[in-house]
Structure 1
Amino acid sequence: MMPASYLVSHDITEARSRFNLSEWSKIPSGQQQVLLWEMVNAVEQKKMPLSRYLAVHPNAAISPSELAILKDYVNTLPGRSKVDTAKITRSPYVSDGKTLISTGTPVSITGIAYSDSYKSWTVLSVTDKFDGGSMRIVYGNEIMIKAIKNNQIPFPDGAQMVKVVWGKQREDAEGNVLPGNFQNVQFMVKDSKKYKSTEGWGFAKFDGPDLKPFGKTVAFATTCINCHKLLVAENDFVFNIPTK
């Protein structure tokens, strides 16, 4: 039987690799917000606190009211306010449905280049995310769609997903929620050898109408996979797999 001291040491090391408060001041504010929402999502989906920890410390359970306080705090951080579509002047690159940029091809520090070919892919899901009040459409390429249909998990190399994110306004009187300003495009690319350190998935994010690559170092991909590992490891680290 594994000694308790080993489990404690393992959990502490794992936790610090994801969320080290001792180095909090060194983390860029944008990444801090990502980590805080990772915390919210982990608690909400009952992934944290760990069940084995709660078995020994039942009083450590987080109540719905405590989770609500955490959500309220994170949702008031700079850049998290909901978008009022009526006040938005859309970028011409977005409003006419054309390619977001006219020249050049943005490339993420992870080596993934932006491409708008996803516009012809199959839509996997449409989500309305609480943090930041964003609307998202998730696309999958042909390899991804075939793997989902055949229940082929882990997903094969070449599988790709793209998430397109818009801000949103609050619901109107009829309950309609309209897309607001374009925020970013996020890519997940499966290449088990190239991206071995992040469970075989490469990550890229392109912000704003000019599609500025996100992340100054490849460390941002570690933040991405940490959240996926915590919440959806059983799905080969993929969110938004449609229900059959």
Structure 2
Amino acid sequence: MTNSSFNTLRAGFRRSAWMVLTLILAMGLLYASEPIQYPNNFRLWVHVGTGVILPGGPIPESEQGMHHIFANQKAVDGYASGNFADGSVVVYELREARQQNGIIFEGSRRRVDVMIKDSNLYKNTGGWRFERFMGNGQTEDVIHDSGASCFECHKKANAHGFVISQIH
């Protein structure tokens, strides 16, 4: 390969790399520029289920506690078929699990995770926007990767519309 050919190839690679980086940053800015969509009064929605993960098992400490899952009516309709319509919202609330005298009860809220279905806006994450609010916060979404980290687990549930929870 001549020096001139190598320089041309290298310049083309740089342009391609910059284009990919620009596209990734633009997608992140587009996602980040959308208003936060904290679902007020989600505890009045349909309660899909509750699970408790206690210390001592293989589950990381960050996931230990009492898990409540709530769904708006559009999401409830999607649970039966696994086809969730745009406008479906699923909320995963994680609270501390307290034990006293053999009784497990919920403690303080640790976080609220939200899935919002819009198949036109979130094609790279199965049509879902993912948000996470720590503690009782409602204004700061701490997910900064356009939901890619959340979708890593959710993509395993592709047969059920990328929603891990199910109504039994």
User: With structure 2 as the length reference, what TM-score do the two structures score?
Assistant: 0.68
| Counterpart selection for 1:153 from 82, 96, 102 | 82
Q: What aligned pairs does 1:195-210 form with structure 2 within 5 A after superposition?
A: 195-210=122-137
Pairing 1:104-115 to 2, within 5 Å after superposition: 109=32, 111-115=35-39
The answer on 1:223 being equivalent to 2:149 is: yes
Residue 112 of structure 1 contacts residue 203 of structure 1 at CA under 8 Å; is this kept in 2? no
Pair member with larger Rg: 2
Structure 2 unpaired stretches of 5+: 1-30, 54-58
Matched with 2:71 is 140
Q: Which residue of 1 aligns with 2:165?
A: 240
Letter in 1 for 2:66: M
Return the match for 1:165 from 67, 72, 94: 94
Letter in 2 for 1:137: H
Please state which structure has a larger fraction of its residues in strand: 2
CA distance 1:196–1:209, change in 2 (3 Å): same
Q: Is the 8 A contact 2:77 2:84 kept in 1?
A: no
Spell out the pairing of 1:1-244 with structure 2 (5 A cutoff).
109=32, 111-129=35-53, 130-132=59-61, 133-148=64-79, 151-169=80-98, 171-173=99-101, 175-211=102-138, 213-215=140-142, 217=144, 219=145, 221-230=147-156, 232-243=157-168
Q: How big is the shift at 1:131? A: 2.9
Match of 2:20 in 1: none
Equivalents in 2 of 1:112, 1:212: separation in Å? 7
Matched positions, count: 130
Structure 1 length-normalised TM: 0.48
| Deviation, structure 1 residue 163 | 1.2
Read off the aligned partner of 1:166 and give its amino acid letter: R
Amino acid at match of 1:124: V
Aligned letter for 2:50? V
Structure 1 contact 189–203 (Cα < 8 Å) conserved:
yes
- Give structure 1 regions of 4+ aligned residues with deviation exceeding 3 angstroms: 108-112
Indicate the RMSD between aligned Cα atoms, in angstroms.
2.1
Q: Could you list the runs of 5+ residues in structure 1 that have no partner in the other structure?
A: 1-107
What displacement does 1:212 show?
Answer: 5.2
Tell me by how many angstroms 1:220 deviates.
5.4
Displacement of 1:128 = 1.3
Q: Tell me, what secondary structure is at the counterpart of 1:116?
A: coil
Identity of aligned residues (%): 23
